[in-house]
Chains A and B, each alone.
Chain A
Amino acid sequence: MDVRSQVSMVFHLDKCIGCHTCSIACKNIWTDRKGAEYMWWNNVETKPGTGYPTKWENQDIYKGGWEKNGDTVSLKGAGKFKGLKNIFHNPHMPVLDDYYEPWTYKYQDLFTAPEGDDQPTARPVSLVTGEHMDVQSGPNWDDDMSGSIDYARQDVNLEKLSAAEREAMFQLERMTLHYLPRICNHCLNPACVGSCPSGALYKRGEDGIVLINQERCRAWRMCVTACPYKKSYYNWNTGKSEKCILCYPRLESGQAPACFHSCVGRIRYLGVLLYDADKIAAAAAAPDDRLVDAQMDIYLDPFDPEVIKQARLNGVADSTITAAQNSPVYKFVKVWKLALPLHPEFRTLPNLFYVPALLPTMATVSDGVYNSTSKSLWNGVESNRLPMKYLASLFSAGDTGKVTEVMKRLMAVRLHRRGVTVGDLNAAEISQALKEVQMEPDTADAIFRLTALATFDERFVIPPAHREESIEMLENTGDVKGNTGFGFKEKPVRGL
């Protein structure tokens, strides 16, 4: 047993209102630099939709992630031979048009334009070329566009649905959408790290954050294609690739990452998971129907004395073990089994888990009258507006059983709380729902509490970093006070 700690995340999709505050918080801190304008380390997508960059989930186009290769896994579009073959021209690389051309407006023209017959306008200018441009697309132009030809109907997750099922999804009476905020998953088996020819990417030992060493990056951009979530971006100005750093400077000082901190819907949870690194290889190569279970088996019980003993032997600090015991992520993922990884079939073992949204169930139309209510307030999850097959394609590699189970647990909690707060439901129906998912009313209350009423400190259980102690053993931190931050020790000579 090789016990390590991983800072992991849960996003509760039922709570996301799609306001993009997280994206803006991240942009203002990290990616408003030249060359980084098009990067959205955090972005919010609408599902069904094509996301950002467009159609990122379609690995036939981008060749990201791993594929099963006998007892092991190999990179789909990178690695020694495939990587070398494409090292000077990688056809699977997303181009700027697959993202969008970033722009700003010439606001000064509004003030300095000479008097004329027309209102002065602020024309859009490209942030890449500096020329006037016609804006063709943006990073979230599929926002709320469920049912659209260009976005929703191009969603790659619809592939497993029959034509009739797809058509039914986009009928006006049952059309729906939910949001999908995405950041780097800081995977246990990161394809970006595996693909880098320069060895510039690495996974931090103490908290598992995946980072790109800006001194060693040689701009091969293999990570850009290899990451199936397209969360590694190339900065054309510095000639280096960049990605979400999970705000590690904030984490080290005990603050939640900016997107977590700013989240209006309070959908985000952050905490430590202890995992067994020896099991990674087997879990990544598990057969499709066992993928989610195999990944869940990697995460260990932080209360198990044996796990604690092994963790200490591995140098995991006691404070980190305590943080793992209080981790909201551990509760959502392992104890309550409510959260699932996004696209486990990419086999990177992502550490960002999603609680799927309990969307409104189907409405009916009778005699031309739209009727949003039904026999009971909530029908069974089977009549969910989004088919289980669709959700299974997102969260469980196509295993509808897994998603249905999670939805039933969520529904049981909601029925239970309806009984407590409103009391208009049949008690037998509620206990039947709880029994079906083997959940105690106490557990349902605890889930409700962490979902709806959790305080800041309950949502973000950040382990002390202990970086200061280890650095102070080697050097006097006073020497560099005020001198460090994001940037370069030596100015890079590559790039534009």
Chain B
Amino acid sequence: MKQVNKPNPQYMRKTFFFFLPITGFFLFSISATHAQDGEAIFKQNCSACHKVGGGRLVGPDLAGVTTKRTEEWLMKWTRSSQALIKSGDADAKAIYEEYSSIMMPDQTIPNGDIKAIYTFIAGKSEAATVAAPTVAETPVSASANATPEVIELGKNLFIGSNALSNGGVACIACHNVNYTGVIPGGLLAKDLTTAHSRLGGDAGILGILGAPPFPAMTQAYKGKTITEPEIAALTAFLNKVDKDTANQVASSPYLLLYGGIGGLGGILILIYFLWFARKKETVKKDIYDRQLKSI
């Protein structure tokens, strides 16, 4: 008779020895990411907005930041800069306002990775000569000289008429821009109409598109990286959108509300006249009224 329900001890032991090396490998690989990959992780997650030496991008130059701030403060900021600002930290607030109130995305990477990044930054800061914080430095916009064909290509990539070559989803799925000939885009992520100036010119956009730092965007473009020419075209397009918008008169944000109220009123008035002669009460109303009067 074969026992079906009772676990077989021999089988259990075999399974244990089979999984042991695999489990060990994972444990090892997690701990091994510590220092060696600091640079890679920085490139993946931070380089879109930050440099270590060489001036500011969207965010500040991080050279020397490890000596300027405590590790605890840095960890809090990285986890959630907004939470830190809300907790009343004056430094955090000052930095946020200095950098045009552009929120740094909350990072969800493991603690070890963040530490690895700071280890990398500390190492690099020593080597690099800290550039003078020239706040007035304006980023160079190569995309301003882009040909109309490139801008057109950027537009087509944005709205999805031309597919991204590695199969990434078109920008319009989540983003909106106000631009002639582009239908309203998604509202899942930020409006990109003024992204070019908001992110400090080409560099910010190039960085974000090269290695998307936002969690949702990272997931969306995992293994579907946007190629160099595509990034250039999209940057040129966003630059053009930004410049064109600057010349437009901003519409009232309450247009939809007022328009909706006005439209509803119009429809109600129309209905009132269209169905003025409709049957609104029982045909016996006269009789009922007279009945009541006679009581």
Report which A residues bind B (CB closer than 8 A): 50, 53-55, 58, 61-62, 91-92, 95, 97-98, 136-137, 149-150, 154
Closest partner residue, chain A, to B277 (CB atom): A60
B284's partner among A58, A62, A137 (CB-CB below 8 A) is: A137
Do the beta carbons of B282 and A91 come within 8 Å of each other? no
Known pairs A58-B283, A150-B287. 17 more at Cβ < 8 A?
A: A50-B283, A53-B283, A54-B282, A54-B283, A54-B284, A54-B287, A61-B279, A61-B283, A62-B279, A91-B275, A91-B279, A92-B278, A95-B282, A98-B283, A136-B288, A150-B286, A150-B290
Q: What is the distance, in angstroms, from B41's C-beta to the closest C-beta of chain A? A: 60
CA distance A92 to B286 in the complex (A): 18
What residues of chain A lie closer than 8 Å to B286, measured between beta carbons? 150, 154
Closest partner residue, chain B, to A150 (CB atom): B287
Closest partner residue, chain A, to B282 (CB atom): A97
Majority-rule SS of B interface residues: loop
Closest partner residue, chain B, to A100 (CB atom): B284
What residues of chain A lie closer than 8 Å to B288, measured between beta carbons? 97, 136-137
Q: What is the distance, in angstroms, from B15's C-beta to the closest C-beta of chain A? A: 54
CA distance A98 to B284 in the complex (A): 6
Q: What is the distance, in angstroms, from A64's C-beta to the closest C-beta of chain B? A: 12
25 A–B contact pairs at CB < 8 A? A50-B283, A53-B283, A54-B282, A54-B283, A54-B284, A54-B287, A61-B279, A61-B283, A62-B279, A91-B275, A91-B279, A92-B278, A97-B282, A97-B284, A97-B288, A98-B282, A98-B283, A136-B284, A136-B288, A137-B287, A137-B288, A150-B286, A150-B287, A150-B290, A154-B286
Q: What is the distance, in angstroms, from A345's C-beta to the closest C-beta of chain B? A: 20
CA distance A137 to B287 in the complex (A): 9
What residues of chain B lie closer than 8 Å to A54, measured between beta carbons? 282-284, 287
Q: What is the distance, in angstroms, from A82's C-beta to the closest C-beta of chain B? A: 13
CA distance A91 to B281 in the complex (A): 10
CA distance A91 to B288 in the complex (A): 21
Report which B residues bind A (CB closer than 8 A): 275, 278-280, 282-284, 286-288, 290-291
Number of A-B contacts (CB under 8 A): 35
B283's partner among A55, A91, A136, A149 (CB-CB below 8 A) is: A55
Q: What is the distance, in angstroms, from A103's C-beta to the closest C-beta of chain B? A: 16
Closest partner residue, chain A, to B292 (CB atom): A136
CA distance A308 to B287 in the complex (A): 54
CA distance A467 to B155 in the complex (A): 74
Do the beta carbons of A92 and B279 come within 8 Å of each other? yes
What residues of chain B lie closer than 8 Å to A58, measured between beta carbons? 283
What residues of chain A lie closer than 8 Å to B279, measured between beta carbons? 61-62, 91-92
What residues of chain B lie closer than 8 Å to A53, measured between beta carbons? 283
What residues of chain A lie closer than 8 Å to B282, measured between beta carbons? 54, 95, 97-98
CA distance A39 to B275 in the complex (A): 29
CA distance A350 to B288 in the complex (A): 33
CA distance A154 to B283 in the complex (A): 11
Closest partner residue, chain B, to A154 (CB atom): B286
Closest partner residue, chain B, to A148 (CB atom): B287
Q: What is the distance, in angstroms, from B151's C-beta to the closest C-beta of chain A? A: 48
Closest partner residue, chain B, to A63 (CB atom): B279
CA distance A4 to B111 in the complex (A): 91
What residues of chain B lie closer than 8 Å to A50, measured between beta carbons? 283
Q: What is the distance, in angstroms, from B262's C-beta to the closest C-beta of chain A? A: 25
Pick from B280, B283, B291 the residue with the most CB of A within 10 Å.
B283
CA distance A50 to B284 in the complex (A): 10
Closest partner residue, chain A, to B280 (CB atom): A91
CA distance A149 to B290 in the complex (A): 10
Closest partner residue, chain B, to A62 (CB atom): B279
CA distance A247 to B282 in the complex (A): 32
CA distance A484 to B262 in the complex (A): 60
What residues of chain A lie closer than 8 Å to B284, measured between beta carbons? 54, 97-98, 136-137
What residues of chain A lie closer than 8 Å to B280, measured between beta carbons? 91
CA distance A54 to B286 in the complex (A): 12
